[in-house]
Amino acid sequence: MMYLESRRTFLKGTALTVAGAAIAKGVFSVDAAAESVKASKFTNTPDTLSFYPPLDQWDHFQELDGTDWKRGGINRHGVQSEENPDGILVHDYMVIPTACSNCEASCGLTAWVDKKTLTVRKYMGNPLHPGSRGRNCAKGYAVQSQMYDPDRIPFPLKRAPGSKRGEGKWIRTTWDEAMTTIGKKMGDTIRKGDELSRKSVMYHIGRPNENGFVPKVWETLGLDSYNSHTNICSANGRTPSIHFVNDDRTSPDWANAKLIFLNSSHAADAGHYFQQAAGMIADARKKGAKMVVMDPRLSNSAGIADLWLAPWPGSESAIYLYLANRILHENKVNKAFVKRWFNWETLMNDSEYLNYMVEKTFISKLPAGRDFESYLELLKDMYSPYTLEFAEKETHIPAYKLEKLYEMFIWAEDAISTYVWRATAAGNRGGWMNGKSVFFVTGLVGAVGNIGGTGWYHWHDIAVGGKGGSSTVGQGKSGKDVPKVKAWNELTWPPEWPLSTYEMSFLLPHLLSDKEWQKKWNDRGLQVPSKLAVYMPRMYNPVWINPDGFRWIEVLKNEEIMELTVNLSPVWSETNWYMDYVLPTGLAGERHDQHSEATLPARWTSFRQPVLRVALEKAGWKPKNPARATLEAHIKAGLGEVWEENEFMFDLCVNYIDPDGSLNIKQMWESKRHPGKPVTIAEWYDAAFGDNLPKLHETVMNDERYTKEEFPVYAYMRDHGAWLEEDKIYSVQERELKIEEGKVESYEHKFDAASMSVDGSGIISAKDDKGDTKKIGIVVDGKKVQGFTTPTRKLDVYTQWVAKDWKWPEYAMAIYPRNDKEKEEMVHILSHVNHVYMKEENSFALNTVFRLPYNIHTRSANSKHLMEISQNHDPIWISTGDAKRLGFKRGDAIRVRIVDTVSGLESGHFVAMAVPTEGVLPGTLACSHHGGRWKLTNHVTIPNGVTDGKVATGVAPRDLNNKEFLKESPANVGKEGAQTIIDNYEGTTGLNSFGVPVAEIQMDGKEGKLKYVEGIKPFHTERFAEYNRDSGNVWWDGLSGSWQNAVAAPHPDPVSGMHCWHHKVLLEPAQAGDKIGDIFVNYDNNMKVYQAWRDKLSRGLDSNSKLRRPKHIFRPWVKLDPTSYDVNIKG
């Protein structure tokens, strides 16, 4: 009441001498700014915080500029419009899906193409991608900084006439000239038609990041010389999968596991699929899963694990077999699974091998019977030596931790997901046996292929990129009419390593320069190439990434061995420096690829696309030359004369290698719709996806948005960028054989149902369409199921074929040497850095194989963002006790001498910085081999070279809303006289100016040295100047480690062929004049080291050999004619 009374007083407010409106400050504006917000869709209080608009808005999506929040947002300024010019800028986007290419995981990306400037303003994730779920790691977002890297190669480069490889003299050339030279050389070589010629045009990749396209090209060329980097990466990780289940690798179900059992940090930290895997591992841990990380180094994952185990490198089998021992003796075996799916009958019926086991004392006596219980007793007998005490002594892991591991293992039952990839596998001789042991022990508890368990790659993968054949004149549907290759290339599949997993690519320069080796096999009836007519890496940097880099340089510089060298590379690299041609094909947002990976128990594929081309086409632009649409689009968008590999290969095959069709290559890549012309992207991928993914095809044909499209399946993938063909794929071996219309189907292959037969072991065979009889399944408990794809259709716990046919009987079962004598006998599976070799006070096992999450080999030095966050000088991790003992303090320069434990030879040394830490197992060291990039000069001058006839990219401003701009397209792209102006390129370019310091190298054929002379400096650039306006802020020197790969000698694993990366090293203080980053290499010794591993350890082909390699195991890339496997080695 009081206030009601007092209110009368307030009525006096009417009497104010100045009206309220004049007194009030007037803080509200109801003018243009407010109107602008009202007229827009923007609000400060959105209903959701989704990063991504719904798909139907991707063609036209508006978003406020990022400076919005810095400036106070639309609250203060409103939205920019004609009436409100000071408002927050609105971007007009077209969102185009693509896929990352900075590692192998192929996470989804979306490029946010600014329509007003035809530039990509940002890369985000693709919410439609089943594996990455809209998320990316730093490398994904960094694709933009790679796209607008000021040093990206602007046009095709050719080594300057008259100069030698490595002199660094370049001229601008045209795509046509390059393709004419390369195509003619390839065509002339292929036309010879002899066996050698089919091995002499080599393609070489790092990460293929596509599923089958280039292999199909090489298949149509009739060549057995598709080469990959796999042997320096993962051969030891894949070999155990091939032995155990005849699949390429595991595919764990992280998300549903109870125990995430990581052998190395790889899956959760930095390596394969880590961004996707880490998300699923986090999901599992949220549900209560536990994570164990085994790694001698405290990785990021180990730091957050429930249990960190730091075993001596390569000794992990001792742990797995200790677990097996306890599981067997404590009666924790999942008998139902083991009885059903282990190939125990094969072993129990193999008397010869059982006797061998007794003879080798693997078992103390022959089994009492041949039944399952006797099998279990045999296993108990075999694994009883692997006690807790043994495991502790061999691995250096305290017993209590091993017991803890066992508890967790048993607690998780059959929901154990595991991965053996890098670290133990890639680092150690015999690392593959660690995989075999872990598969054995997870098999014992039934964690194979089930929910939460560990499945297999080919269950969860889609490979259709090479199957667009129905769009061509000659290939036939899915490539069925492509002739199989009749050749066997000893440079990639040498006779010493008949079981090698993938090509022995890291030995290429050694094999090419080892005349003695060539002669030996030529004398015995093989035809070993002594040179390559054409060597064509793609975006690959073998000089830097492989062991013994100086040997690579020697061979690449030798024009008699490497007659023509071409790198399809958008960026500078150590390797490019020694090439004849560097042809800029595109990065993640600048190329087409079908790319699928087994990142979860499902089959998905991504579709990588040149996003600016797609944006142009969606806006209504049409290329003048449909076979070079991506090249035209990139020129139009100002990226330079940057092309993509698909169109390059189509064009190369049709118009340059076989222009008259006499080699039957032209027909393979000629468009069925437009005979005589190369097939187009839309034609090829419409067929590749549509012919081979039935669920996708059906979905598209029932979607009225696409049914009227000329290429409906292509259009669907263009718009979505990802597809899930099948979800929740488990225990595929249990699937029953389907019989329909006289055909029986197994693993998506069809066979004649009438020809089915069952042998005494229950194995079902049938005839394929060529009439060849193949194993297709197995009868289990009366049911006809697919089984696994091994010869026994079960899990090859006993790998009989390895024992009987391929000379490795002692390694047919999971095993680890039980004493020093066995370490000598079983040297093939004993790590070359085992502690038995560490005899000197200053000797250590160097763990080299780990990655940084924001770098990947050579794919990141062109990204300013990744470089800025990865400057750490790649130190030597040394345990505090060891450092104290040797007198090393943090920051000290130390010489790391690499010594081979097979030949006793020394490879040289590198100088690195010591960082004492508790995060590494005493006696071992860690230093990632991803450091030490180099270049020989800061800049190269490559004049535009087109002062006459230089063609502007267009007249109209780059704006997708501008009709004039969409009407324009450069004519005759790639042809002489049609070279275009490169935006702001004035004739000189830097070389990875954000990432790579300058070094001097010296080499004399036997010894090599490298010394850094200048770090990175701030700089100014006119190319993509606005985007790179911060180049003057560079604060780092880029001196991040040593090029230790060059010091490393090749260590070919005698079974898998893997280059075993770890080293025995001797540490000593740096000497006067040493600087961190220096290396010295005796590469003459390195040649001898390779020879010692080859001659002392391998068990190659001999005069008894009938086959080059087992026919049933995977030999990737091109399909071989079965006769290519036959071999006759003279005595």
**Contact set with another protein (CB under 8 A):** 3-4, 6-7, 9-21, 23-30, 33-35, 37-38, 43-45, 69, 72-73, 75-76, 78
How is residue 445 written in tokens? 């508890």
What DSSP state is assigned to residue 920?
B
The neighbouring-strand residues paired with 831 are none
The C-alpha torsion from 316 through 319 and 324 to 326, rounded to 10°, is: 180
Nearer to another protein, 20 or 782 (CB): 20
Tell me how crowded residue 1093 is: count the other CB atoms within 10 A of its CB: 24
How many CA atoms are closer than 13 Å to the CA of 982, on its beta-carbon side?
Answer: 26
How is residue 878 written in tokens? 């040394």
Nearer to another protein, 4 or 955 (CB): 4
What is the DSSP secondary-structure string of 192-203? Answer: H-STGGGGSEEE
- Nearest Cα neighbor of 250 from 49, 1, 432 is 432
Nearer to another protein, 28 or 1035 (CB): 28
Nearer to another protein, 67 or 757 (CB): 67
Q: Shortest Cβ distance from residue 62 to another protein (Å)? A: 17
Q: Shortest Cβ distance from residue 121 to another protein (Å)? A: 22
How is residue 422 written in tokens? 């890098």
Q: Shortest Cβ distance from residue 50 to another protein (Å)? A: 16
Q: Shortest Cβ distance from residue 93 to another protein (Å)? A: 21
d(CA 864, CA 163): 32
d(CA 804, CA 1061): 29
Nearer to another protein, 9 or 1033 (CB): 9
Q: Shortest Cβ distance from residue 67 to another protein (Å)? A: 15
How is residue 790 written in tokens? 């091994």
Nearer to another protein, 27 or 952 (CB): 27
Nearer to another protein, 69 or 411 (CB): 69
The C-alpha torsion from 42 through 44 and 48 to 52, rounded to 10°, is: 50
> 1053, 429 in Cβ contact below 8 A?
yes
Q: Give, in order, the Cα–Cα distances in Å from 624 to each of 206, 621, 628, 638, 971.
A: 33, 10, 8, 17, 6
d(CA 902, CA 888): 29
3-class secondary-structure state, position 663:
coil
- Work out the angle at residue 571's Cα, subtended by the Cα atoms of residues 143 and 966, and round it to the nearest 5 degrees: 65
d(CA 848, CA 1065): 11
Nearer to another protein, 73 or 1116 (CB): 73
Q: Shortest Cβ distance from residue 21 to another protein (Å)? A: 7
Contacts of 1087 (CB under 8 A, 6+ apart): 510, 513, 514, 548, 551
Q: Shortest Cβ distance from residue 40 to another protein (Å)? A: 12
> 236, 243 in Cβ contact below 8 A?
no
d(CA 613, CA 909): 48
- Nearest Cα neighbor of 139 from 719, 638, 849, 862 is 862
Q: Please give the span between the terminal C-alpha atoms of the chain, in angstroms, as a whole number.
A: 119
How many CA atoms are closer than 13 Å to the CA of 21, on its beta-carbon side?
Answer: 0
Nearer to another protein, 6 or 1104 (CB): 6
Q: Shortest Cβ distance from residue 29 to another protein (Å)? A: 4
Phi, psi at 391, each rounded to 5°: -65, -40
Extended strands (E) in 256-332: 259-263, 290-294, 307-309
Q: Shortest Cβ distance from residue 41 to another protein (Å)? A: 13
Q: Shortest Cβ distance from residue 542 to another protein (Å)? A: 51
Nearer to another protein, 77 or 909 (CB): 77
- Nearest Cα neighbor of 846 from 811, 872, 823, 874 is 874
Contacts of 1127 (CB under 8 A, 6+ apart): 488, 495, 526, 1101, 1105, 1106, 1107, 1108
Nearer to another protein, 14 or 1123 (CB): 14
3-class secondary-structure state, position 375:
helix
Nearer to another protein, 50 or 664 (CB): 50
Nearer to another protein, 34 or 196 (CB): 34
Which spans in 652-747 are helix H?
Answer: 666-669, 681-692, 694-701, 712-720
Alpha carbon 922 to its chain's center: 32
